[in-house]
Structure 1
Amino acid sequence: MADNVDLFDTAKAHAADTEFFIRRGMTKGYQLLSLLTPPLYTAFANSRYGRSHLSVNRLLRATWVGGASGMVGGGAFEYVRSAYSDPQNVRKRRIKAAYDTDSIRADDHSTIGAILLAVFTPALFWKRANAVNLILGGAGIGSAVGLLSHYGRSISGDAPPPVIPRPEVTHE
């Protein structure tokens, strides 16, 4: 019975909640910058160098580097936000995030898109780009496409995810 006391240690629970939010922040950062990087890079390359500078390899490289930057930035932001916050507030945020079915559904669509385009992009552009850029850039573009498809389905009137009642957090 004494071993179970460690399960309810506030410091361990706060560390687990912080780890959850770091992973979630990394996921959301990757999704956001994978969505924003291709159009921003295209506009930048066209305005700065003209159409001759834009290539499939460079666009795919910019996409995965942007996604990786978003992942690092999102994880760092959530670490600072969660590690130095009140453990009870972090616990409430975690419970709210765990029951947010719209966010979970967006993550699922993004993951499915990333996996599909990580496979299809090398098949389509094999001779036009480096293999690493094809796979990682394809995953970034797929993540963005999956996220856009989720929001498109939500806007078009797809059935919203069911609302799951959250349990109340009691402070003892």
Structure 2
Amino acid sequence: MTDSDAVISQAHAEDTEFFVRRGMTKGYQMMSLLTPPLYVTFALVRFGRSHLAVNRILRATWVGGSVGIVGGGAFEYGRSAYSAADKLRARRMQATFDTASMRADDHSTIGGILFAVLTPAVFWNRASTINLILGGAGIGSAVGLLTHHARTISGDPSPPINVPPSS
């Protein structure tokens, strides 16, 4: 293997790692958004109102977020590890300068941290501590993602950035 091949291989590995991390983040955000309404609907249809509890909803939220992390990372690894290096580099440049995605991640992170603190304060005696913190972070991540989309729909889109041409 020549030095040029080693550099390309290293760059491909770094790009793959970037997309796996990004896929894990996006998977967590999506599953944190989808899990609570899906779980509530499932519990109501299958067991009725008596099965709904704050502890169960919060537990389902963080377990769903964990599934999103694993699924998103696995999907992006499969997609990126077997892509051509030049196509992967172009995708990474697009993703790096995607301000809408960055703003969604920022809102999601802020919401996750905020709700990880507020949920235990509000529901202290209704759920276990781990479900309060992790489930609250999942709910907050979903609320942050919804906030990003509400801002975009209401006329405050994130500013576009021109991607520099690849050399």
Question: In 1, distance between residues paired with 2:146 and 2:159?
Answer: 20
Q: What TM-score do the two structures reach when normalised by structure 2? A: 0.96
Question: How far has the Cα of 1:162 moved from its partner?
Answer: 2.1
Q: Does the 8 A contact of 2:152 with 2:158 survive in 1?
A: no
Question: How far has the Cα of 1:67 moved from its partner?
Answer: 0.5
1:56 aligns with 2:71: no
Question: In 1, distance between residues paired with 2:19 and 2:130?
Answer: 29
Q: Which runs of 5 or more residues in structure 2 are unaligned?
A: none
* AA matched with 1:18: T
Task: Identify the residue that residue 74 of structure 1 maps to in structure 2.
Answer: 72
Q: What TM-score do the two structures reach when normalised by structure 1? A: 0.93
Counting aligned pairs with the same residue, the percent is: 68
Within 5 A, what are the aligned runs for 1:74-153?
Answer: 74-153=72-151
Q: Helix, strand or coil for the counterpart of 1:161?
A: coil
Task: Identify the residue that residue 165 of structure 2 maps to in structure 1.
Answer: 168
Question: In 2, distance between residues paired with 1:30 and 1:161?
Answer: 22
Question: How far has the Cα of 1:30 moved from its partner?
Answer: 0.3
* AA matched with 2:166: V
Tell me how many residue pairs correspond in the alignment. Answer: 164
Task: Identify the residue that residue 38 of structure 2 maps to in structure 1.
Answer: 40
Question: In 2, distance between residues paired with 1:169 and 1:115?
Answer: 36
Question: How far has the Cα of 1:168 moved from its partner?
Answer: 1.1
Question: In 1, distance between residues paired with 2:111 and 2:159?
Answer: 23
Q: Which runs of 5 or more residues in structure 1 are unaligned?
A: none
Task: Identify the residue that residue 154 of structure 1 maps to in structure 2.
Answer: 152
* AA matched with 1:67: G
Question: In 2, distance between residues paired with 1:43 and 1:119?
Answer: 26
Considering only aligned residues, what root-mean-square deviation do their CA atoms show, in Å? 1.2
- Cα deviation 1:4-48 (Å, max 9, x = unaligned): x78x80011101000000000000000000000000000000110
